[in-house]
Amino acid sequence: MVYILKSILEGEVQISGAKNAFFPAVGAGIALGAKKIVIRNVPKVRDIQVMLEIISKIGGEYSVRDDNEVSIYMEKITPERIDQETFSKIRGGVVIFGAVLSRIGRSYIPFPGGCKIGKRPIDQHIKAARELGFSVEESPEGVKAYGEIKNKKISFDIKTVTGTENAILMSLKSKNLIEIENHAKEPEVRELMKYLEKHGVRFLETEDKLFIDPRNVETPDEVEFELIPDRIEAGTFLIGTAATGGNTKIKNVNPEHLKIVIEKLQEAGARIKIGKDEIEIEGEKEYDPLYVIADSYPDFPTDLQPQLTVMLLKSKGKSVIEERVFPERTNHVYELRKMGADIEISGNKIIIYPSRLKGGTFVEAKDLRSTASLVIAGLIADGEPTLIKNFEIIERGYERFLEKIRKLGANIQRDSFFISQLTM
């Protein structure tokens, strides 16, 4: 539980490593057969801790250093030992499926979890394994795969980030070129390709096809990877600054990964200066309305849709965000309405009208990105503090969030003192 008072974000913030690049990095190390996997710039967040628990359940060991370097030691892997309860805490563990299948010729995972933003099925992951020629058996508990690669082509019905990561990982033992149609192009998927290119795998990418040549893949005893900066953490601070009319420098980012986000913030009226690995943003009191499509990369990231929804409450007219990845990603809307937000949901469109938020309200966080959205709402709400229940969810994906946002001037406290002051 935290309470937040109206604040303006100003100053500098250092972005941590991307948690969603950690899962494919682990997957690459496992699939390549490495006994030691060293990964740098790993954020200390709960989802990473759960992934390490999953690793130890299937037979691995690990150590985490203060300087955000994680070492994982994998000898014998027993995928059947992973339990549903641990596995379903996060979505990222799903890459174990393809990685272990490549490493030992068989694999098992319980059905994965992740944020409550829609069903989160894995039918496309199963389709990919079957299209490659593996035998795949589904049970109420989970999915088992075994056998060999007999075919050369996978085609996805929809773009799926971890589905594409799994398809790449399960292809590595092929004796032929593999073609993946309708692959996801998120930076974290590109990073997996870079990790594997370091070890002999070749990729060729066209508009809607990814070709993999794993015929010269190495089997290193040890691999070392470094995670890219977290573009969603960076985007959250950019949008939070814009919403509060502040002025911040976001350091240690890759502006290329935030191209559409920067374009949309500039279109709304924020002033942005782009450096090699930093972005400076100066917000406004109010913004020009936007029409934004949240879709697979390079479109606007769905993981920043809840945060942008709040900022657009400050636009001069009606804005629309079309949510094409997770149409059910509206937990934040119901909470924002409690604070006075005038937002309509029509199909997969979130329609946002200019409205002021009022504090002194008790809102509830339901998933990682809607928690970030409620924090931004608390920073712009008038009057009394805003209380966020289940704020702790933020620790799943944002490293040292409270420390970073307080350093930017946010008045956000865990203290329960203020609760007694609230007129409920």
Among all residues, which ones are annotated catalytic? 115
State in angstroms the smallest separation of the CB of 383 from ligand EPZ: 31
Using the minimum distance from each CB to ligand EPZ, give the nearer residue, 8 or 109: 109
Using the minimum distance from each CB to ligand EPZ, give the nearer residue, 199 or 231: 231
Using the minimum distance from each CB to ligand EPZ, give the nearer residue, 123 or 222: 123
State in angstroms the smallest separation of the CB of 90 from ligand EPZ: 7
Give which of 158, 76, 71, 151 is closest to 118, Cα–Cα.
Answer: 158
Q: Which residues contact 109 (CB under 8 A, 6 or more apart)?
A: 79, 82, 87, 93, 94, 96, 97, 142, 143
Using the minimum distance from each CB to ligand EPZ, give the nearer residue, 123 or 288: 123
Q: Which residues contact 293 (CB under 8 A, 6 or more apart)?
A: 299, 300, 321, 322, 324
Helix (H), strand (E) at residue 28: helix 19-31
State in angstroms the smallest separation of the CB of 78 from ligand EPZ: 23
Using the minimum distance from each CB to ligand EPZ, give the nearer residue, 129 or 341: 129
Report residue 87 as tokens. Answer: 């596995």
The sign of the dihedral angle between the CA atoms of 89, 91, 97, 100 is negative
State in angstroms the smallest separation of the CB of 273 from ligand EPZ: 27
Burial environment of residue 254 by CB neighbours within 10 A (0 to 12, 13 to 18, 19 or more): middle
Query: Do the beta carbons of residue 89 and residue 113 sit within 8 Å?
Result: yes
- Residues of the shown chain interacting with ligand EPZ in the complex, contacts defined by CB under 6 A: 20, 23, 91-92, 114-115, 118-125, 158, 160-163, 184, 302-303, 325-326, 368-369, 397
Distance from C-alpha of 172 to C-alpha of 122, rounded to nearest angstrom: 20
According to DSSP, the residues that pair with 159 across neighbouring strands are none
CB atoms within 10 A of CB 280: 17
One-letter identity of residue 224: E
State in angstroms the smallest separation of the CB of 404 from ligand EPZ: 17
